[in-house]
């Protein structure tokens, strides 16, 4: 006669409860990796072309896995903004504070800093100039809430005061000075990649752009000679 089976029945395996998965041990490293991939894509295709799906493909991850770290690309860029753009703005403000009585020297120093930043971060120019050079305005819409328009208006008035006292060329448009400096530096630094086959500009280096900007700004920003 067979003995009755006294083995305890197996308990059904429970699936993972719904909700956010537990953080992985390498979560911080993975976030850093995704940000670095995003920056590399910014350098190639700007902000508008860098979706979370594109980042997932470049990282060899599923979109859902990327969403675990960043819910939206705006959230990802917010971290980049705080880590890179905010310090750059503070550095520029410090330059104007240090050279409050000599705006020409301040703008030249700012241009010099922009060359360095564009050399260190190839994504800067494609992100800042992408919307200006294309029909899209994705980046502008996202950063609009981060712009301190009161500070910009105050700086605009400060430029006008410098012009009124003869410290800056009165023929310059106050609203175009900073974009002009960014174009002379960041835009040219980004353009170097397009000039590799240009017979005239292929030899343009970071030092060339710096020297050109310093010379042009030093004379163009100065007050007219009597």
Q: Which residue has the higher pLDDT, 180 or 15?
A: 180
Residue 154 vs residues 144, 147, 158, 159, 208: alpha-carbon distances, Å? 18, 13, 6, 9, 33
d(CA 120, CA 202): 20
d(CA 169, CA 160): 10
pLDDT digits (tens, 9 = 90+) for 162-193: 999 999 999 999 999 999 999 999 999 988 88
Do residues 46 and 138 lie in contact, with contact meaning Cβ atoms separated by under 8 Å? no
Query: So what's the pLDDT on residue 217?
Result: 86
Q: List b or e across 32-49, with b for residues whose CB sees 16 or more CB atoms inside 10 angstroms.
A: eebbebbbebbbeebbbe
Q: pTM (2 decimals)?
A: 0.78
- Helix and strand numbers, DSSP H then E, in the chain: 12, 0
In order of start, what are the domains of the chain with their CATH numbers? 85-220 (1.10.357.10)
Give the residue from 132, 133, 131, 128 showing the smallest Cα distance to 114: 128
């Amino acid at each position: 006669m067979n003995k009755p089976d006294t083995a305890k029945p197996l308990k059904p395996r429970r699936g993972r409860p719904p909700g956010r998965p537990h953080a992985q041990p390498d979560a911080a490293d993975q976030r850093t990796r995704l940000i670095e991939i995003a920056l590399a894509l910014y350098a190639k295709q700007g902000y508008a072309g860098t979706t979370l799906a594109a980042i997932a493909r470049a990282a060899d991850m599923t979109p859902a896995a990327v969403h675990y770290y960043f819910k939206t690309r705006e959230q990802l860029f917010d971290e980049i903004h705080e880590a890179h753009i905010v310090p750059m703005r503070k550095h520029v403000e410090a330059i104007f504070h240090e050279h409050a009585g000599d705006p020409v020297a301040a703008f030249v120093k700012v241009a010099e800093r922009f060359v360095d930043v564009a050399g260190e971060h190839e994504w800067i120019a494609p992100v800042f100039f992408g919307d200006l050079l294309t029909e899209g305005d994705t980046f502008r819409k996202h950063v609009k809430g981060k712009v301190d328009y009161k500070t910009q208006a105050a700086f605009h008035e400060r430029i006008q005061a410098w012009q009124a006292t003869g410290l800056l060329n009165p023929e310059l448009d106050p609203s175009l000075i900073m974009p002009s400096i960014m174009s002379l530096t960041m835009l040219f630094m980004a353009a170097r990649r397009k000039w590799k086959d240009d017979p005239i500009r292929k030899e343009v280096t970071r030092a060339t752009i710096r020297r050109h900007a310093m010379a042009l700004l030093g004379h163009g920003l100065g007050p007219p000679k009597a």
